[in-house]
Structure formats: C-alpha cells, structure tokens
Amino acid sequence: MTGEAEDIMAKQAKIDASGATSGPAPETAKASARSPVDKTRELAGKAVKTSAVLLEEEARLARDLMAVLAGNSEIAPAPGDKRFKDDAWNQNPFLRIAMQGYLSWTQALGQVVDQIPLDDRNRERARFAVSMLSDAFAPTNTLLGNPAALKKMVDTGGSSIARGLKNMLTDLATNKGMPAQVDKSKFRVGENLATTPGAVVFRNPVLELIQYTPTTEKVHARPQIMVPPQINKYYIFDLAPGKSIVEFLVGSGFQVFTVSWRNPTADQADWDMATYVSALLEAIEAVREITGADDVNLHGACSGAMTMAAMLGHLAASERPLVHAATMMVAVLDGQAESQLGLFATPEVVSLAKTNSASRGVIEGHDMGRVFAWMRPNDLVWNYWVNNYLMGNPPPAFDVLYWNNDTTRLPARFHAQLMDIFAEHQLSAPGGMTMLDTPIDLSRVKCDTYVLAGISDHITPWQGVFNTSRTLGGKNEFVLSSSGHVQSLINPPGNPKAKYFTNGATAGTADDWLAGATAVQGTWWEHWREWLKAHSGKLRAAPAALGSKAHPPAEPAPGTYVVAA
C-alpha cells in the first residue's frame, strides 16, 4: 500500500467514525431529519436500562471534569476542529476549562454509545444522533463562549451584534430560519455564472440542449453530452471561467453539448425516470443530426448519471449502440454502500417521505438542502450561525455555494422512484427495473466507462461509486479524487493540492482497490481528457456555426429553463 493510500484510508476511517458521510438519497427529506431525534430518545431509554454503563461513564466524566478544574487535563480538540482555533482557548484559563469540559462531556456521550448493546446499524444511528446533540451545544455557538465574537463586539462597539441580529431576522423571513450560506446578491446566472458561449439548439418539455461554440480550429468528431443531476441546475458543469468543465472540454478540442433540465412544478408530478430517459434520447438524436455522428459520448453526475445508466440499460436491451463511451461522476446506483442518510431510510421514513411529496406534487429543493445541511451541521449550519449572527459578517460570496443554494424541485413520482431504486436496488440488480418496456441489466452495457468518486464525499460515498463501476459491463476506469462531492467535480488544473488515485486492477473490494492504488499529483480532469481523446474519434474542422437547418440556434446559453422559477 502506498503512503498516500494509507493516509486516505485513515482519513476515511475518521470520517466514518465521526458520522461525516451521508448517503445518496436526499429524498428522505423532512422525515429523515426527524429520525435523529427519535434515535436520541431510543438511545436514552436503552442507556437508562443499562444502569451500569451510565454509572461507569458518570464516574469517568466526574474524574475528567475534576482534572479539567485542576488544570491537569490533557484533552484537546481533534486535529482539524476549527471551532477552537482561537489562541484564547488555551491562553485563558476559564475558556480552557469550558473547552475541555465540553470535550469531556462529548467524549463521555460517545463512550456511552459504544458500550450500550446495539447492533452495528443502530450504533451508527446513535453515534450520529449524539454528534448532532453535542455539536449543537458547543460553547462556540454562543456569544459568551466564542472569544472571537466577543473581541469583535468590543472592537466594533457592539455593531457586530446589531448586524448579526439583522442577519438573523433576514434569514427568519427569507431562508426558513436557516443561516444563509452565501450572499446571493453577488451572482447572476449568465453574467458571472454559466458564461461559456453557446446557444439552445433543441428543446422539449423536459430539457433544453445547449451547444457550445468551439474555440479550436479542429474538434474531435464524436460529440460530448453533459447530463446534470435533476436535483441541481446544470451549471455545475459551467460554473465560472477557470472552474468550468464545459470551458475545459471546449478548449481541449471537443464538441460539447449540455442538457439543462426544466425545473418541474406540481403540474409535472407524474414525471418519472422514463420521462427523463425519453427526453434524453431525443436530445441524443438532435446531437447526432447536428454533428453527423453515429454515436455520442455521455458524461453525467449524481442522479443525472443514474438516468444515464437507466438509458444505457435500455439501449443495451434494445441493441441500439448510440453511446460510444460514458463518464459517471460521483454516481451511486443503489443503497448498498454504508451512508449516513441511508441509516435513517427505514420503511416508515421512506413511506412518509413519499406521502409528503405526493401530497404536494413535488419535493422542494430547499427541503432537500436542509437535510444535507444537518448531515454535516458543524460545516453547513453552525459555521454560518457563528459567521452571520455572532460575528455579524455577511455570508460568503462563493460561486459553488450559490449554485448549491439555487435549488430545483423533483417531481413526486420521480422522487418516489429514486427512493425505490435505492431501497430495493432496482437499477443495479439484473431485471430489477424495466425502462421503456425493456428489462434493465447493466452488465449488458458494453461501452467503455470512466467512473469518478470523491474520497470525502458525504453525498455519494466513494465505496458506493466503486460498486457502480463494477455493476457496468465493458471496460471501465475507476478514478478516486482526494476531494468531496462537489469539489471533485470542480477540479480545474492549477490547484497544487489536487490529487487523485488510479489502479489498473479490476477485481476485489473498494478497500483492496485503494490499497493498491497509485497517487497522482494534479487534477483528474487532465487524466480524463486523455481518456476522452482516445474515445472521441479523429480531429476535423470545427463547425462554422451552431445547430443545423433542422435545429437552428435559439436563445444564447445558458438558455431559459435554468433561470425559470
């Protein structure tokens, strides 16, 4: 095993132990958000019944607190815990007592969970519930327990507190009480986001197809189609200059098209996977007509890649070779891999989530966003609580966060179907799902695939993405980025910290693969570009104009669907 692989495995073990991973199913929505509360009550009941455990931990906590008060405690924050980075936590004896007392308490809670008789799944549920409780009660979340906030209050003559109160009232009125993650006033789609030149060349009720203007004299003959997740807007692929996958591909001599899904309303409640697959097939036919190509390359992320997989299964069953090669980014096709949201996706929770979305016709993007945020509360809730309210700062102006908060909806039927795919492994099990009247068996998909995962991905755990690569037939290349879910996608050249792992082996488990992997400094984008060149045909003169007679260019990129309410 390489030293880099050992470091990554140690990091992954830390993530798993702390409950920082989450699963691929945001569809549990409000129901899953309530589950940790229920689990905390259940845990408390079991702890009371196991009185010996409580007595032992009470005694240990008492000893630890006495050591804290006497100044003899060596307990310290975990490496990377940014809450206690201010020097005052070590220099001020009262603050040091508060910090060490809090850490002793959280440690005792964890030891109670470890000693109560629970099966592995319930123990992980309990650990997550306890971590949410302890994170909420961190002294840094209060004004008196946050030395940086107190210092700023003094330095600004109290104006930071006034600004913080204003921020809180604004969030109560406009953000459903959650602290804002981004200053939305700094961004406009089509102005400083999604700016790569192009035009809409095809539209149906489900999607717009955008073709991008070539920037090289010659382009590869086989076109590339980007398929974004329905859960988010497409411009994660065209975020901003220097951070755009589309810009990178166009500049590398590829013919690039992107799907922009329509944001559904309750009127589209009956849209399902077949609706999206049918629309994507229409887009492929439009691209073939525009470029004259016999087949295309597809690149999809998250639920967009799931849609691609369902379509590829249908094409394999129909013996229609329309796709030459496929890239699947951070894509999990079932719920078999361990995940945080998966811990709470019980049949009761799934049923309640389906009922909630069916009653409204859609599941709102901001509801899904809140669930994701509470999966990582220190990073995605309390961090902004401190910044916006205690420090009185405006939320950051960060393009990725704007995209993440520019939410979309999911149709109720599609939402329910995604949950069944994860819970019942319909897509990964041969014959477990039918698409457009054909049974799906992904092992019959023989096109080459490039599968990307992120080592610290809290949405689609990398082990689950590894399983995706083993579900598909044909020759596949699995690559592991050293980043998280979104950071793995936005991985342009030039970042000195970027790193990814490769391994030519095709057998074994995910951990076996990582143990034999080789670390490569740089971005996987460059590795992927070389793979794409080998799968994209010969170079030819770039088209002089976008579209064709049958599909003339309409609105300029980014189109109309992406900005519709």
Catalytic residues: 302
Distance CA 30, CA 36 (A): 11
Nearest to 224 by CA among 253, 251, 256: 256
Strands 499-502, 518-521: pairing is antiparallel
- Report the distance separating Cα 95 and Cα 139, nearest Å: 9
For residue 162, give the H/E element and its range.
helix 159-174
565's tokens: 């309410």
Q: Could you give the CA distance from residue 175 to residue 313 in angstroms, rounded to a whole number?
A: 40
Say how far apart CA 476 and CA 302 lie, in whole Å.
18
| Residue 229 preceded by cis peptide, ω within 30 | no
Sequence-distant (6+) residues with CB within 8 A of 505 are 512, 513, 516
Decide: residue 541, CB within 10 A, 0-12 exposed, 13-18 middle, 19+ buried: exposed
Question: Would you give the DSSP letter of residue 496?
Answer: T
Query: What is the CB neighbour count within 10 angstroms for residue 90?
Result: 12
CA distance 260 to 265: 16
Between the CA of residue 29 and those of 37, 129, 364, what are the distances in Å? 14, 16, 9
Residue 525's SS3 state is: helix
Q: Which of 18, 36, 19 is nearest to 28 (CA)?
A: 36
Structure tokens at 259: 């799907």
Residue with tokens 């689950």: 464
Cβ atoms of 455 and 67 closer than 8 Å: no
- Give 519's strand partners: 501
- Which phi and psi (to 5°) does residue 248 adopt? -65, -45
As a residue count, the chain comes to 565
Residue with tokens 């692929």, as numbered in its chain: 237
Question: What is the spatial distance between Cα 471 and Cα 374, in angstroms, rounded to a whole number?
Answer: 31
Calpha distance 134→46 (Å, rounded) = 19
